[in-house]
Structure 1
Amino acid sequence: MKKIKFGLGTQILIGLILGVAVGAAFYGDPAIEGYLKPIGDMFIRLIKMIVVPIVVSSLVVGIAGVGDAKKLGKIGGKTILFFEVVTTIAIVMGLIIANVVKPGIGIENIGSLAKTNIASYVNTAESAGHHSFADTFVNVVPTNVFDVLAKGDMLAIIFFSVMFGLGLASIGEKGKTVLKLCEGVMETMFWVTNQVMKFAPFGVFALIGSTVAKFGLNSLIPLGKLVITVYGAMILFVFLVLGVIAKLYGLNIINFIKVLKDELILAYTTASSEAVLPNIMQKMEKMGCPKAITSFVIPTGYSFNLTGSTLYQAIAAIFLAQLYGIDLPISTQINLMLVLMLTSKGIAGVPGVSFVVLLATLGSVGIPAEGLAFIAGVDRFMDMARTVVNVIGNALAAVVISKWEKQYDIQKEEEVLRKIA
């Protein structure tokens, strides 16, 4: 009898379904959260453990391969321009959808909504409120390399890795031993990643199970219109905006999603972009993007190209204004868009970044930040959707920049697409 083998994506989906079932069965029981949460936390910690070594080693190897600061600067400029255009479209689209659908209208009694404690985000948001765009660029340069490596400050890590890679390329033969070491670290960490991914179904089961046990599926009912609006907006953005961009560069967005299927399932179920960063980098290289571009574009996108997050933030801000009966004129919404463009870059990478950005932003347009306590209970379910959009956007960016630079290997793409056909 032939043994049935389930792929990683299928295993993760099974973990998700079982997690929802167990969480719903034990809703309100603090003991089950105590059992499940440590397993989920351990999986997230395993992911965080592997991200920094992979980003550093991949970037150093990729940049040393480019070996030209002028060429790298050109790639960097195009990357940031692309990110800014796409995230601005996401914010504008979020504002339009929220104004048309009006998800905050019709909830008669705000007091009927369960509130969640958001105190843990407040201090970070207060410091973020005074965080200017200039501060973002200043903080890209680390004062202590080991400090930013420990904190996982991605922009500072990228800056150091790029400089180190350029340094290795400039010293020629003397740098080859260090480059070999970095290549060895990179290959080793990809092996570690494959082992960590075997634990993913259990991590997903625990993460979703503890969330449902804590908040319950019934928490979705009063805020159902918001959740549906966010999911609808995410789907529309992927197929309309990202779909058009993909088409312009010779890709079918549905085929592209099929290529990323396993990574998207993992990103959705864990609500963590970091969980799939190593796999996305590998997969984009297999699809035809050069290492130098994937190792720069994808990690940078985790700070500058969070399209799903910015789309959600725009919708959530208008939702809260509608919830409190606050009329926001066009001028105020334009101001909101500009503030979101700055704050979403300035504090990217911190825990609960979407919540922190909203807390730091709402006061600037007169919306009570306390309203976020009403939607915190369902934020996890919306976070899952916006994480998927972030991942698709960053993976697509690697393809776009590679084709922009005429460094894309179309034969590799054809081989990958043939396998999923």
Structure 2
Amino acid sequence: MQKIIQNYGSILLLLLGIALGSIVGLVIPHVVDYIKPLGDIFLNLLFVSIIPLLFFAISSAVANIQSENKLGKIIGLMSVVFLTTIVLASIATIVVLYFFPVSSLSTNAGALESPASDDSSWGERIVKFLTVEEFGNLLSRQSMLAFVIFSFLIGIAARRAGATATAFTSFLNAGNEVMKQLLILLMKAAPIGLGAYFAYQVKTIGPQLFGFYAKPMALYYSFGIAFFFVFFSLYAFLAYGKKGPALFWKNNIVPSLTALSTCSSLATMPANLAAAKKIGIPPAIANVVIPLGNTLYKNGSAISSILKIYVAFSMLGWNFFEWNTMITAIGITVLVTIVAGGIPNGGYMGEMLMISVYGLPNEAIPAVMIIGTLVDPLATILNATADTVAAMLVTRLSNEKFAPPIA
């Protein structure tokens, strides 16, 4: 018993906090408004830690890679893993929808406010997505990919500077260790913070799951949970062998609970990095794949993108199962996984992309956006925790050695 408490004490406390939060959200929802600030404070502390964590994790990892070819190999293999598994998730969703169709919907179930339209060209949007005009703008979560690219370039520059940059590289390594220790301190408050935030999620989203959108939500959650366990276990097996699934799931509990409670991939990234270390993923791979995957790799968004396109077509009486439509849906899904940000409800940009490509009428927008909101908890789990198993696959494909797992 003492060994169980020693190994799983933090997880048990986290589960207890989330369980109590769920009970509060269901039984005494009027109390949620009083405890939600605790969750907001915890989440804000995590968010303000993300920028320095990203900078030191990425730049130090790249700066310490000895070979230029090795860095290019990691990026290349990461791209192959991301693209292949996202396409697999999209195809699997189409197959499930073919055998378990969702009935047509009406748009009278309510509406969400749509984002302001952007009249800029695609070229201008790409520039805004990849870069910012001033250094201060890099420090915003809205410019996360631009900041990741900047941190990546800083690491490359430190490598190219050689011995001259030894002190700077030591600073990056020290900063990376300091941020890890800060996050260890913050996660000690996770049972309270995530419990309070989970109470809020149960109160606000829970009742809607049993309403008008029950059937598409049932399909998404049942298939999403099956995908979560089956596909991720398969990927862990391919990466690590027979012990891979057990090792991955043992260390994926805290990231999954963090993602479920916060609906934020960004807030889950520190837990992913800690899990990667316990699994034995080389830091040079984990500190590149996980931060980049946080922005670019989203299995949950891929599944929900296909579902939302299907529901919109069903609602309008259009045939989704045409080759051109399905191939376009997969292409849109790949783009959506890039466009969707690592913040709560960050998929709205992707939804607008889907609507504009297909030329869907305005009456389809509310249904699509409501579904996007309701699938967010599970989508975030799939989005965030896939980064760790992707790093395991990259480790295997790169022929790098896993370090001995940390108990």
Assess same fold via TM > 0.5.
yes
Match of 1:118 in 2: 113
> CA offset at residue 26 of structure 1?
4.5
Partner deviation per Cα, 1:320-342 (whole Å, 9 max, x = no partner): 33234333341223222222322
Q: 1:152 to 1:186 in 2, by over 3 A?
A: farther
**Distance in 2 (alpha carbons) for counterparts of 1:350 and 1:201:** 21
Amino acid in structure 2 at the alignment position of 1:9 = I
Q: Are the counterparts in 2 of residues 20 and 208 from structure 1 also a CA contact under 8 Å?
A: yes
* Contact residue 340 and residue 348 of structure 2 kept, 8 A: no
Q: Tell me the amino acid that sits aligned with residue 287 of structure 1.
A: I
Q: How does 1:43-62 map to 2 (within 5 A)?
A: 43-62=42-61
The corresponding residue for 1:70 is 69
Q: Secondary structure at the match of 1:328?
A: coil
Q: What is the match of residue 220 of structure 1?
A: 210
Q: For residues 257 and 129 of structure 1, what CA distance do their matches in structure 2 show?
A: 44
Residue in structure 1 matched with residue 94 of structure 2 by the alignment: 95
Give the Cα–Cα distance (whole angstroms) in 2 for the partners of residues 239 and 185 of structure 1: 35
- Please, which moves more after superposition, 199-208 or 389-398? 199-208
**Cα deviations across residues 47-77 of structure 1 (Å, max 9, x unaligned)?**
1111111111112221111143333122212
1:164 maps to 2:166? no
Aligned to 2:395: 402
Is 1:321 the counterpart of 2:313? The answer is: yes
2:282 match: 290
Equivalent residues in 2 for 1:217-296, closer than 5 Å: 217=207, 219-251=209-241, 252-296=244-288
Q: Tell me the residue number matched to 2:38.
A: 39
The structure-2 alpha-carbon separation of the partners of 1:350 and 1:211, relative to structure 1 and needing over 3 Å to count, comes to closer
Q: Alignment identity in percent?
A: 21
CA distance in 1, matches of 2:394, 2:230: 20
Q: Distance in 1 between matches of 2:404 and 2:32?
A: 45
Report the Cα offset of residue 22 of structure 1: 2.2
Q: Is the 8 A contact 1:94 1:311 kept in 2?
A: yes
Q: Which of 180, 187, 192 is equivalent to 2:182?
A: 192
Q: Per the alignment, do residues 18 and 370 of structure 1 end up closer, same or farther by CA in structure 2, a change over 3 Å counting?
A: farther
State the Cα distance separating 1:366 from its structure 2 match.
4.3
CA contact (8 A) 1:363 1:369 kept: no
Letter matched to residue 84 of structure 1: L
Q: 1:376 to 1:24 in 2, by over 3 A?
A: farther
Superposition deviation, residue 306 in structure 1: 0.5
Instruction: Work out whether residues 73 and 398 of structure 2, in 8 Å CA contact, stay in contact via their aligned partners in 1.
Output: no
Where does residue 304 of structure 1 map in the other structure?
A: 296
Change (3 A) 1:142 1:314: same
C-alpha distance after superposition, 1:290-310 (max 9, x if no partner): 211111111111122111111
Contact conserved, 1:61 with 1:165, CA < 8 A, in 2?
yes
Q: Structure 2 residue aligned with 1:24, among 26, 29, 33?
A: 26
Segments of 5+ residues of structure 2 without an aligned counterpart are none
If the length of structure 2 is used for normalisation, what is the TM-score?
A: 0.86
For residue 140 of structure 1, the aligned residue among 120, 130, 153 is 130
Q: Structure 1 residue 155: deviation in Å?
A: 2.3
CA contact (8 A) 2:58 2:291 kept: no
Assess, with a 3 A threshold, how the Cα gap between structure 1 residues 274 and 36 changes in structure 2: closer, same or farther. Answer: same
SS of the equivalent of 2:307 reads helix
Structure-2 residue corresponding to 1:14 = 16
Matched, 1:335 2:328: yes
Residue 396 of structure 1 aligns to which amino acid in structure 2? V
Residue 350 of structure 1 and its aligned partner are, at CA, apart by 5.7
Q: How many residues align?
A: 400
Which of 344, 348, 351 is equivalent to 1:358?
351
- What residue in structure 2 maps to residue 388 of structure 1? 381
Q: Does 1:209 align with 2:211?
A: no
Distance 1:63 1:205 in 2: 36
Deviations 1:209-264 (A, max 9, x none): 22333455264243222222112222332344333333222334344112222221
- Structure 1, residues 253-302: CA drift from partner, whole Å, max 9, x if none? 34411222222122222222222212322331332222111111111111
Alpha-carbon distance change, 275 to 349 in structure 1, aligned in 2, over 3 angstroms: closer
Q: 1:358 aligns to what SS in structure 2?
A: helix
Q: Deviations over 1:375-413 (max 9, x none)?
A: 76675553221222223321011111122222222x514
**Separation of aligned partners in 1, 2:290 and 2:188:** 23
Query: In the aligned structure 2, how far is the partner of 1:118 from the partner of 1:333?
Result: 28
Q: Which amino acid aligns with 2:158?
A: L
Higher relative CO (Cα under 8 Å, sequence separation at least 6) belongs to 1
RMSD, aligned CA: 3.0
Assess, with a 3 A threshold, how the Cα gap between structure 1 residues 334 and 206 changes in structure 2: closer, same or farther. same
Structure 1 stretches lacking a partner, 5+ long: none
Q: Take 1:203 and 1:224, find their aligned partners in 2: how far apart are those partners?
A: 29
